[in-house]
Structures are given as structure tokens and as C-alpha cells.
């Protein structure tokens, strides 16, 4: 399978779960360790034109690597992560959750952690396009 380098898509509404969970200092610190740079609490949901084709740039992290009770709190057993550049200027991490069961995470959606609040910095609203590239 060839790795998909362009993850550009359309901003989708979120449920506010990411910012709530990242409000916990230990969680934010752990996610910053995984990303390698400071993160703004919250995530940006992006729907892609096709399912993600993961390759060697993606890594897997179990829920337990974030917090011992993370799977129980989120219903997600782990995450595929990839370093990205958003709008050719902001460092970020794209991720896809692994949710057990028949109604799992959409294969054509990624969420982004970023060093800046993307909706503010780029003036994004639901339905807007956003450029994302693997780093």
C-alpha cells in the first residue's frame, strides 16, 4: 500500500471531547511528549475525500500509553499518529482512533492536534477546506 502524503480535507464539527480531555494537565503533558512540541488543547476534525492510506510515517500508540484508564474513559483502544504540517506553516499530529465494534472511527476522517488553535489562526469554520501534509 502506498502512503498517502496529502491529508487535506474539509473541517467538520466536533463534540468538544478533545479539549475537555486535554484540559487535564497530565494528559496534555503526555500528548506533548508524543508530539514533541507544545499543543493547544482540543482537536480539529477533518473529513478527507477518501479513506486514509497509512504507511511508514504512521505510528501506533495504545490507549494505556496515554493514561491507565484512557480506554475506559474514551472507548478507544489506541491511535494511529502521523506528524503533519497544516497550511504549510503549523506543526501538528494527525490521528485516527481505534474504536472496537461495528460503529468504529470513520476511515476517511482524521483529527489534528496542533501547536496553534487552527480555527482562530486560519479563520476556519465547519465546511472550510484545510491543507494538511505529512512531514
Q: Which of 114, 121, 106, 134 has the alpha carbon at shortest distance from 12?
A: 106
**48 part of a folded domain:** yes
- Mind listing the pLDDT tens digit for each residue in 64-88? 999 999 999 888 899 999 999 999 9
How many domains are contained in the chain?
1
Q: Which of 114, 130, 131, 3 is nearest to 58 (CA)?
A: 3
Look at residue 4 and tell me if it is in a domain: no
Q: What is the pTM of this model?
A: 0.91
2 lies in a domain? no
pLDDT at 105: 79
Query: Where in the sequence is the domain holding 84, given as residue range(s)?
Result: 9-134
CATH of the domain at 120: 2.40.30.30
Is residue 110 in some structural domain? yes
Alpha-carbon gap, residue 27 to 14, rounded angstroms: 19
Amino acid at each position: 500500500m502506498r502512503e498517502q502524503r496529502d491529508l487535506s480535507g474539509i473541517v467538520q464539527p466536533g463534540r468538544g471531547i478533545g479539549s475537555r480531555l486535554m484540559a487535564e494537565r497530565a494528559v496534555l503533558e503526555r500528548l506533548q511528549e508524543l508530539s514533541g512540541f507544545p499543543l493547544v488543547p482540543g482537536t480539529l476534525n477533518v473529513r478527507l475525500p477518501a479513506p486514509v492510506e497509512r504507511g511508514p510515517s504512521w505510528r501506533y500508540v495504545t490507549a494505556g500509553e496515554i493514561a491507565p484508564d484512557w480506554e475506559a474513559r474514551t472507548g478507544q483502544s489506541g491511535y494511529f499518529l502521523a506528524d503533519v504540517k497544516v497550511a504549510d506553516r503549523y506543526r501538528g499530529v494527525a490521528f485516527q482512533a481505534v474504536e472496537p465494534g461495528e460503529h468504529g472511527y470513520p476511515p476517511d476522517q482524521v483529527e489534528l492536534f496542533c501547536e496553534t488553535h487552527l480555527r482562530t489562526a486560519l479563520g476556519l469554520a465547519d465546511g472550510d477546506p484545510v491543507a494538511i501534509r505529512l512531514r
